[in-house]
Amino acid sequence: MSPQRAVLLIVVSILSWGLVSFFEPAESVGDAPVLAAFYAAPAERVETHVLKRGETLSHLLDRASITGGELSNLLLALREHRSPRQLQEGLEVTIRRWFSSGAPRLVEVRLNADSTVRLRSEPEAGWRSDVIVTPTVVDTVFVRGQIGSGSSLYHAVLEDDELGLPPAERIAMVSELAEVYVFRLDFSRDIQPGDRFRLAYEREARPDGTARRRRILIAELENRGRLYPALYFSNGEIGGYYDNTGASLRTAFRRYPVDYVRITSAFAWRRYHPVLGVYRGHLGTDFGAPTGTRILAAGDGTVSFVGRRGGYGNVVELRHPGGYTTLYAHMSRFASGMRAGRGVKQGEVIGYVGSTGLATGPHVHYELRKNGQPLDARTAKLPPGAPPIAAALRGAFEEVLAERQELLARIAPAGPRLAEVAEPAVVGVTQ
């Protein structure tokens, strides 16, 4: 196998203009002496409890010897922010106690990655609560890369040692990039060795490097020598990706009905073995993905069939405007409420990947037809899915385009032969 060091990605975070917002904990003034004492280690004992399956918060606190009136006051204070019944298994509760008496003085209930309810015991006043929001900063991340032989965009980004992003963030970024291009390219098959990309995205990042929100501002993908620009433009009413001429990237149909990352992550290499083979009269495209992966409607339409159909197994068929139909086969199950006559929106979940019918592994078999004639869903010319930028918005669009292109210009394109920089392959998985 040739080297996987296919990619050079750079991340230059925290542009000056990107330091836009910084969320401070919702802290009331006047607490300073109390706060200082929280961290005076010798004065307190700290313990962390995890909510077990089927356990209530009262149980957990009872385990921690918080009972009676103290317990009910504490639950009452928590209820200001969250019903104790809504808490999930695995939730972490940190209790800080006075070293001398062992009495609890501070209880922190970590609701999720972004917020914690902090309950503190105050003499006279009883338990008081407030919510601490994890601080985030808005920054801009620049990424560039080139695909090496035998690699995929997914693996190129995931295995890059120099990319200063946690794995979950990389996956989310790749998934988002694939969605930007989902109407133009099938990343699982169309991306070739030598293809290059660069992009700038804005994110609201937590201290651990994960993002609460992210949006690709501008991207450029070179596929087989052809350049695909993508610019995010929004004016409050419309919002979406456009090419440099103001044409929407959106078409009436997605090129494939699943999340790219779910297709790719199931296989070590882009050119995975076609599990599926091509049988006589095969009129669709197969996408291998783990059982249970969500299958999305390729376009707006109406459900015309839901049920079992011979070798296709569990099938959903949709009818679309303009004489188009799409079909999705081998589903493990249908989305709830799927029945003939029901309307569906592009991107709506209609079922889940499986291997019902004649299938040797979990995959979705996808067909696109026009007036009954099968089309190649990955290459067919498709009707547009959104209008181009209107004349009235042209000026604003050009302005954003110029500004974002400047942003992109800060990232030099990935070099033509970076893929050949010799370095041992990182993964040893072969076909």
> Smaller CB distance to Zn ion: residue 87 or 276?
276
Pick the closer one to Zn ion by CB: 170 or 365: 365
* Residue given tokens 């980004």 in the structure block: 157
Closest among 9, 244, 16 to 142, alpha carbons compared: 9
Identity of the amino acid at 25: P
Residue 222 or 286: the one with the smaller Cβ distance to Zn ion is 286
CB of 279 to Zn ion, least distance (A): 8
Stretch that binds Zn ion, among 26-34, 212-220, 284-292, 297-305 (CB under 5 A): 284-292
Q: Among 108, 160, 202, 286, which residue sits at the site for Zn ion (rule: CB under 5 A)? A: 286
CB of 409 to Zn ion, least distance (A): 43
219 within 8 A of 198, measured Cβ to Cβ: yes
Closer to Zn ion at the Cβ: 195 or 286? 286
| Distance of closest approach, residue 310 Cβ to Zn ion, in angstroms | 13
Nearer to Zn ion (CB atom), residue 110 or residue 365? 365
Instruction: Say how many residues touch Zn ion, by CB under 5 A.
Output: 3
Q: Tell me, letter by letter, the H, E, C secondary structure of the chain.
A: CCCCCCCCCCCCCCCHHHCCCECCCCCCCCCHHHHHHHCCHHHEEEEEEECCCCCCHHHHHHHCCCCHHHHHHHHHHHHCCCCHHHCCCCCEEEEEEECCCCCEEEEEEECCCCEEEEEEEECCCEEEEEEEECCCEEEEEEEEEECCCCCCHHHHHHCCCCCCCCHHHHHHHHHHHHHHCCCCCCHHHHCCCCCEEEEEEEEEECCCCCEEEEEEEEEEEEECCEEEEEEEEECCCCEEEECCCCCECCECCCCCCCCHHHHHCCCCCCCCCCCCCCCCCCCCEEEECCCCCEEECCCCEEEEEEEECHHHCEEEEEECHHHEEEEEEEECEECCCCCCCCEECCCCEEEECECCCCCCCCEEEEEEEECCEEECCCCCCCCECCCCCCHHHHHHHHHHHHHHHHHHHCCCCCCCCHHHCCCCCCCCCCC
Min dist CB 277 to Zn ion, Å, is 9
Cα 340 to Cα 302: distance, rounded to the nearest angstrom: 8
CB of 331 to Zn ion, least distance (A): 13
- Shortest CB 367 distance to Zn ion, Å: 8
Cβ closer to Zn ion: 257 or 284? 284
Q: Which is nearer to Zn ion, 205 or 258 (CB)?
A: 258
Task: Report in angstroms how near the CB of residue 312 gets to Zn ion at its nearest.
Answer: 9
Which residue lies nearer to Zn ion by CB, 250 or 365?
365
97 binds Zn ion (CB under 5 A): no
* 162 vs 145: CA distance, rounded Å: 11
Query: Which range of residues in 24-32, 150-158, 171-179, 277-285 is near Zn ion by CB under 5 A?
Result: 277-285
Supply 15's token pair: 């542009």
Among residues 358, 431, 427, which one has the least CA distance to residue 156?
427
Please report how close the Cβ of residue 332 comes to Zn ion at its closest, in angstroms.
16
CB of 316 to Zn ion, least distance (A): 15
Q: Which stretch binds Zn ion (CB under 5 A): 29-37, 40-48, 285-293, 310-318?
A: 285-293
Compute the least distance from the CB of residue 381 to Zn ion, in Å. 22
Q: Which stretch binds Zn ion (CB under 5 A): 32-40, 245-253, 280-288, 396-404?
A: 280-288
Q: Return the number of the residue (183 or 366) whose C-beta is nearest Zn ion.
A: 366
Kindly indicate which of the ranges 8-16, 121-129, 188-196, 283-291 contains the residues binding Zn ion, using the contact rule CB under 5 A.
283-291
Q: What residues between 354 and 373 interact with Zn ion by CB under 5 A?
A: 365
**Residue 254 CB, nearest distance to Zn ion (Å)?**
17
Q: Is the dihedral of CA 304, 337, 260, 184 positive or negative?
A: positive
What is the pattern of x (binds Zn ion, CB under 5 A) and - over residues 315-354? ----------------------------------------
Q: Which is nearer to Zn ion, 205 or 315 (CB)?
A: 315
Q: Which is nearer to Zn ion, 95 or 377 (CB)?
A: 377
Beta bridge partners of 186: none
Site track 37-76 with Zn ion (rule: CB under 5 A), x = hit = ----------------------------------------
The residue number with the shortest CB distance to Zn ion is 365
Residue 118 carries which side chain, given as an amino acid letter? R
Binding footprint of Zn ion on the chain (CB under 5 A): 284, 286, 365
